[in-house]
Amino acid sequence: MDHPDWPVTKRLRVSDVDNSARCLLEKSSVKEHILPHLRDNDMLKLWRGVEVVVWDVDTESEHVLVLRRWKSSGSYVLHKNWLSDFVMRRGLEMNDVIGLRWDDENSRLEFKLLQKNLFSSGPVWAGLDSKCPK
**By CB neighbour count within 10 A (0-12 exposed, 13-18 middle, 19+ buried), where does 17 fall?**
buried
* Cα 60 to Cα 72: distance, rounded to the nearest angstrom: 35
Domain assignment present for residue 62? The answer is: yes
Domain assignment present for residue 129? The answer is: no
Domain assignment present for residue 22? The answer is: yes
pLDDT of residue 121: 59
Rounded mean pLDDT for each run of 10 residues along the chain, 134 residues in total: 85 94 94 92 87 97 96 91 96 96 96 87 54 48
Domain assignment present for residue 64? The answer is: yes
**Domain containing 18: what range?**
8-115
Give the CATH number, domain containing residue 39.
2.40.330.10
- Spell out the alpha helix ranges (H) of 1-134: 14-17, 27-33, 40-44, 89-90
pTM of the model as a whole: 0.84
pLDDT of residue 131: 47
